Amino acid sequence: MSVLVKDIAPGDVKKSVEQFSEATVRALSAARNEPEWMLEKRLAAWAQFEAMPWPKSDDEAWRRTRLTGFKLDNFQPYAQADGKPATVDALVQVELDEMQSAGSMVFQSGDVAFRHNAEDLSAKGVIFTDLRSALHHHPELIQKHFMTEVVKPDHNKFTALHAALWDSGAFIYVPKNTRVDLPLQVILHQSAEGAGGYHHTLLVAEDGAEVTVVDDLLGGENGLQNSVVELVVGDNSVVRYMNLQDFDHSTWNFLTGRAIMHRNADLRWIQVSWGSRLTKAFLDLDMQGEGGHGELLGIYFPTGRQHIDHQTLQIHRVPHCFSDLLFNGALKDKARSVYMGIIQVHPNAQKTDAYQRNGNLILDSTARADSIPGLEIEADDVRCTHAATAAQVEDEYVFYLMARGLTRPQAERMIVQGFFQAVLDRVPVESVVTKLERVIERKIGG
Amino acid sequence: MSVLEIRNLHAVVEDAEILKGVNLTLRSGEIHALMGPNGSGKSTLAYVIAGHPHYEVTEGDILIDGESLLDMEADERTRAGVFLAFQYPVAVPGVSVANFLRTAVSNVRGYTQQAENNGNSPAVIGSNLMPMREFRRELNEKMKEFNVDPSFARRYLNDGFSGGEKKRTEVLQMAMLEPKFAILDESDSGLDIDALRVVSDGINKLATSDRGFLLITHYQRILNYVKPDYVSIFFRGRIVQTGGPEVAHMLEERGYGWVEKEFADEPVTA
């Protein structure tokens, strides 16, 4: 397990986090015995973070998602392991037990609490490890890929902060023409209350590789999680990636996730946003090689006063790529959702085939969903469509099912579950589907 | 032997009275055709019997074997033995025919209630449903019997179905739910002759001595395939004439214009 910076002697480190500064970054890096090059990277990112302004309410990306009440200084970053033996929380154990995986890794409060490989991954040349170890054991790969190309530190204010303060994360490397059949499971359990976490996922699938990765994000009570996901999807590789966010409803959650797709790459990204008090997620598919096939599928179900915002970008830079985006959300109580998406087709990207759909099912008149789909097309021989729908659970649907003997709660449940089914049908791991269905059930119930 | 009785039924929607004193008695084994011009309130009668919350009953009663349905929700009426085949069945994307029907059948046949009585938690998926194997066997048999392609079990309910496929699926649902009284709201509308035959065959198979049918239709066409015991003319919210099959033939000859002339001036009385 880990300790928060505030718990560390000597006092000068403690002082440094009362307000974040360059010294905080130096102290964190030193506490983890990082190589000099990583410290340099962190410091450069810190300078970028300081130079960039906080989002303002008239920035298009932040017009509908305000940071009122968010204060970075309130969230203590993790510093180092405290040397106590790690125990896995019961909640996490359930997650581990339910999935049949090739390997699993649990991060609890910034540190590895558990790892187990059911398969001999290293015999295949597959790397499945935590980022901190990777700094020492695979420095060339990390220097080549970590926030250099897919998500650069200056991508936005939050990615710069992440690059300066990142604390935990998985590094997954699948060599050329290598296949990992069962999913690789990474669980982040942010267990300490009020902490600031900066979790990273770096997946490199080399040419012809095949892999499925599941990220589970849990905990985060009264905390902050500012994560980054980077996927490098090589020529002819097949990647299935699931980001399953189920934080406490008090967590501030910021995510920037991007995938760079090379020639004939095949990616399906499932984004689930169940938890958090507020989520702002930037998700991009960047199609750089011809013949790519990318799917970005999302589900969300805010209740209470949750606020969930997804902003997506499908970038077609080259000809003959296909991308399909589907985000379906249900809303209850006084919840709010925002979906903004753009399909961007560059002048050279002829024969682009791109879709974007966002559906919202509003269960209470006090909930509100905003949907802003968009197209920026600079090529002339393309097929692009976008659509946004918002529907109430209408009386006619409920009456039809009740006239077949279903009770009102059963009918409403079935309609909501059916609404999510279009995405669940495309989730490639059966145990994940079961888990998602259970959460939907729980959320409908109250 | 059961009886569905509609007694002096009045119903309003948004302050407009649509049903103005309907009286009708339907017994097990009977097929009663209800014919009338568009806008006469036939479909409203079907919805009111099935318990649509949009309509308010202001007077009269609906009873099965002496027990009033009026205080029951739509699902309770279905469990009491009423089945409404919709003119326009809605599509429910993401809900498969088999999954939906298993829940419906389990409720109507009492599996759900039985599980509750045994203290089973509804959270355990399947614990309150008809056993899967048994359900599957019955569904497959009935799909075959009622000319529904087996692939429909996995398809989403009415999603992307043609008009004929929807109506056939309605008949399949009726076959699975085994109601005491079936109300068919324009089950013949929009069907080509082949689909009409399939739907009519289904109705005839289900028209057993323990089941009554109220066949609501605008056209005489379906009555070439399904033979009614009684035919009533429905006009301006009530039944204005009842007789045998000859009433349908008369209507075909004279058309609804005749009804208009014949009954327009009749005072509406309770």
Assembly ipTM: 0.93
Whether the per-residue pLDDT at A232 is higher than 60: the answer is yes
pTM for the full model?
0.83
Query: Residue B64: what pLDDT?
Result: 97
Please give the pLDDT value at position B29.
Answer: 97
Confidence (pLDDT) at A1: 43
Helices (H), B4-118: 42-50, 74-79, 97-108, 111-117
Tens of pLDDT, residues A284-301: 999 999 999 999 999 999
Nearest to A88 by CA among A191, A221, A205: A191
For chain B, give every domain's residue range.
3-90+179-263, 92-157
| A445, pLDDT greater than 50 | yes
Q: What percent of chain A has pLDDT over 90?
A: 80
φ and ψ of A241, to 5 deg? -125, 130
pLDDT averaged over chain B?
91
Three-state secondary-structure class, residue A345: strand
Q: Do B51 and A400 touch (CB under 8 A)?
A: no
Nearest CA in chain A to B183: A403
- B8-56 pLDDT, tens digit per residue, is 999 999 989 999 999 999 999 999 999 999 889 999 999 999 999 999 9
* Pairwise CB contact (< 8 Å): B107 & A415: no
* A163 has a pLDDT exceeding 90: yes
Q: Which residues on chain A are in Cβ contact (under 8 Å) with B84? A: 403
Within 10 angstroms of residue B38's Cβ, the number of other Cβ atoms is 8
**What average pLDDT score do residues A422-432 get?**
95
Which of A112, A79, A84, A114 is closest to A96 using CA atoms? Answer: A114
The most confident of A15-24, A182-191, A436-445, by mean pLDDT? A182-191
Q: Which residue has the higher pLDDT, A283 or A4?
A: A283
Run of H or E including B29: none
CA distance A415 to A392: 11
Between chain A and chain B, the number of residue pairs with CB atoms below 8 A apart is 79
Work out the average pLDDT over A240-250: 98
Q: At B77, phi and psi to the nearest 5?
A: -65, -40
Digit-coded pLDDT (tens) for A373-409: 999 999 999 999 998 888 777 778 899 999 999 998 8
Q: What is the pLDDT of residue A13?
A: 41
- Could you tell me if B75 lies within 8 Å of chain A, comparing CB atoms? yes
pLDDT for position A111: 86
Q: What is the pLDDT of residues B72-116, one digit of tens each?
A: 999 999 999 999 999 999 999 899 999 999 999 999 998 877 777
Asked if the model's pLDDT at residue B197 lies above 50, the reply is yes
Nearest neighbour of A405 by CB, restricted to B75, B92, B123: B75
Kindly indicate the confidence band of residue A45, based on its pLDDT and cuts at 50, 70 and 90. Answer: very high
**Cβ-proximal residues to A329 (8 Å cutoff; 6+ apart), any chain:** A298, A299, A300, A301, A302, A308, A337, A339, A358, A359, A360, A361, A369
Compute the distance between CA of residue A56 and CA of residue A201 in angstroms, rounded to an integer: 28
Of A50-59, A89-98, A107-116, B112-121, the least confident: B112-121
DSSP A349-370: -TT-EEEEEEEEEESSTT-EEE
Contacts of the segment A53-62: beta carbons below 8 A, 24+ positions apart: A53/A157, A54/A157, A55/A157, A61/A282, A61/A311, A61/A340, A62/A280
- How confident is the model over B114-154, as pLDDT tens digits? 777 777 655 555 568 899 999 999 999 999 999 999 999 99
**Tokens linked to A258:** 């991007």
pLDDT score at B99: 92
How far does A383 lie from chain B, in Å, by closest CA? 23
Which tens digits make up the pLDDT trace of A347-378?
999 999 999 999 999 988 899 999 999 999 99
**CATH code for the domain defined by B3-90+179-263:** 3.40.50.300
pLDDT for A84: 58
Asked if A415's CB is within 8 angstroms of B73's CB, the reply is: no
Task: pLDDT band for A279, please (50, 70, 90 cuts).
Answer: very high
Band of the pLDDT at A6, cuts 50, 70, 90? Answer: low
